[in-house]
Chain A
């Protein structure tokens, strides 16, 4: 019976990144994916004829350029296009836009407050400083602070040095930044509510926290530390939808000799005497492997796929307590023409960017209040994009695909499971909000896919539908991600590794967890990692 060198559970972007690096190191690698397609949360699916849906993740910035280059993803079709603007619509018939041009950006803010318009430089400087601190950490394994191994000590020293490289004031700011709320952080720079709401949205996306919850400032940073070709903080569309990322990864993997089996759901991980032996598929088929890497989140991996008796009690308890709370849903819409927003000038670049309707911090926080009460937000926060304004490959000419990321949506409704009626109510809250700003919107809808945490968990496999595979709060970052003592992609089971977003440096279509896990695995196998670029210099 064949034993693969490595079996990767889950063909999401991190699983595929991991598989690519291992295969390129000379291992014989198999990816098993439960769906009939690969991609995990980075997919493009033709859900109605002629329209490609980025039906889970929908925009690209965090994916590490070092990985794109190592794995030759451009050769396999990956292209990322920066988007052009963005806006928050205000309830008084106006909007606050974000423009790429620095002076236009300032003039736009000055429409609301001359003071805040001029406060942006200092804000951008401070956020950039924080990004520069964290960026180099993304592509390194977090040190184990309790270990005395030379490499951990070296990494700790590196962290310490980076931290010591900050001025006293920056150090204080970094500590505050990593723990404070986005609302309080923004209060230090801006006075105008809509301007704060405009920035705060990056602090709540994907997290079951409100803008006034401690820890959300870091979430903002997590959304800023990406780039599009060197333009740090910029976001773009993957041409062909987010599936283009995983399509390129899969092609790269296959080109280097890797094997993918779709429609192959793993039922459990085979463990014998504390050592991994392979996986058992849902149909009972056993596949043997010298090591197994799980792209599934830490809860799914250790609470569903590995038998409890194989795991230490404290580890198990921490995995159970790992915060991985569903907070969002998706409404994906095919449109027969570009929707009009009467508040926006027809030639506004905002159409080619991200649009929002939550124009105050209070509305944002109130939306979160609904989540706490176990119901979807009556007045939800939307992150809405129309990628087809820049990407001609996703819909027929003149027609459009619209992605609405919706927050908040709790994992359960008042303690019970979501029903179809709930899902329709949730969708209606979204459509109603858009229609308020675009009166003819409903008439343009050709097809719609609604995903609550229920659908995201069932179809994608993300526990509770949490897009980051675990909250990005400080207690769950760096050497504490996912749990203390297991932040280096290894697990209590010999030969079983983790490579998903539950691990450092966390979620988003970044690829860094998959890459870092590969580096650790190759280290354990005493194989070369010379095919893996180190993080680009931050100079």
Chain B
């Protein structure tokens, strides 16, 4: 009788030899790791303003958080994304596995393309969102905020596929802003002009100790602007950084921290896991769980593609109208940011919470992302208000401001998608 000879999915470091384990003991001396780019970032860190990104020492700002934002919108900004969690998913059935665990149809994701996706537990609650890179017909990279190795490995049982966590091994950079294309072209990445939005390709980069190797460049980003993301093996990180900084010198390239990036992402209307919604594996309170339709990710759900994790629960919630929340963009009168303000209907009835807010320099509007309890924000969008507590010299200035539900993104830049990409 024929028997399926499917490999068990392997996590590479499982059962590491004792000597390797013992060699790794000293990690407790460094609670916040440096990324492969750290020597360069440290040299530029005038503010010494750090935060903990998944165990890495990452900059809130490097020199001036407001001007760093303008570097994204006017020149080119370099942001270290190495701490992002990365998984290599590879094998003849990698596509089938990912199609089974993520919301979108992975068979439609061609090699050399990237899509933004999300994934759910069996109850249909969102575990995380992230980007899926199809590096070849059988090789993928899944990038996310949180960690999912047990879930990926458990899901992979029965699939001929290898799942490997590669966060430390792969260094990543986001190069974002109007001159980002020109920086790459001038750096000698021949053919980069052919990358359309969400395309990816490998380019030679000879900075590694092993000689001539590859950098993967995708036309993606988290800013709503023209921009790229670059991934290399960690040992080539510094030479890649130098190559970009050298060529970007005449194009106004600046390294930036997270505060600036976070502003750009909000203008782009993009959400952040565990900032704009709570991921299912971290939600201790059951009412904090969210289905894709409740955080604006319903568009990803592909009901035509067959079974995927959470499908049944999502279908049921839609059919029985059990969706309880909706995530919306708000435009708020005035110019005081409404961060973490409570949203009211008719100034009295509490209906939700603002998770991110700012005055948008690009839109010249006061914008916010908020989660509301349906039907507010869904079918009832009139007469919404936010109560802003603005601390000014040790006193709260309490403001009740009208909020209007608006479409995201809050800004739309033609240069983001223009082909060929412009010089600036």
Contacts and interface: CB of A to CB of B under 8 A. Distances in A.
Interface of A: 92-95, 97, 99, 101-104, 106-108, 110-119, 121-122, 125, 128-129, 132, 166-167, 169-170, 189, 191, 345, 347-349
A191 B153 CA distance: 12
A103 B286 contact: no
B28 A99 contact: yes
A118 B29 CA distance: 21
A189 B153 CA distance: 12
Contacts of A166: 286
14 contacts: A93-B22, A103-B31, A103-B55, A106-B55, A113-B15, A114-B12, A115-B153, A121-B147, A128-B284, A132-B284, A170-B286, A345-B26, A347-B29, A348-B28
Contacts, number: 85
Query: A-B pairs with the 3 shortest C-beta distances?
Result: A103-B55, A118-B149, A118-B147
B395 interface: no
Nearest to A95: B25
A346 B14 CA distance: 27
B54 interface: yes
Contacts of B16: 111-112
A113 B14 contact: yes
Contacts of B13: 110, 113-114
Interface in B1-58: 11-16, 18, 21-22, 24-29, 31-32, 52, 54-55
Given A94-B18, A111-B24, A125 B281 contact: yes
A191 B13 CA distance: 13
B146 interface: yes
B408 interface: no
Nearest to B21: A111
A193 to B, nearest CB: 11
A112 to B, nearest CB: 7
A351 to B, nearest CB: 12
B303 interface: no
B148 A118 contact: yes
B123 interface: yes
B305 interface: no
Contact of A104 (B31, B148, B282, B284): B31
B381 interface: no
A115 B11 contact: yes
B144 to A, nearest CB: 11
Interface in B275-325: 281-284, 286
Contacts of A104: 27-28, 31, 55
Interface in B129-160: 146-150, 153
A99 B28 CA distance: 8
Given A94-B21, A345-B25, A122 B150 contact: yes
Nearest to A122: B281
B11 A113 contact: yes
Contacts of A101: 31
A345 B28 CA distance: 10
Contacts of B26: 345
Nearest to B55: A103
Contacts of A115: 11, 14, 149-150, 153
B387 interface: no
B165 A114 contact: yes
A160 to B, nearest CB: 17
A535 B77 CA distance: 52
Contacts of B21: 94, 111-112
A187 to B, nearest CB: 13
A137 B31 CA distance: 37
Contacts of A111: 16, 21, 24-25, 27
B24 A103 contact: no
Nearest to B30: A104
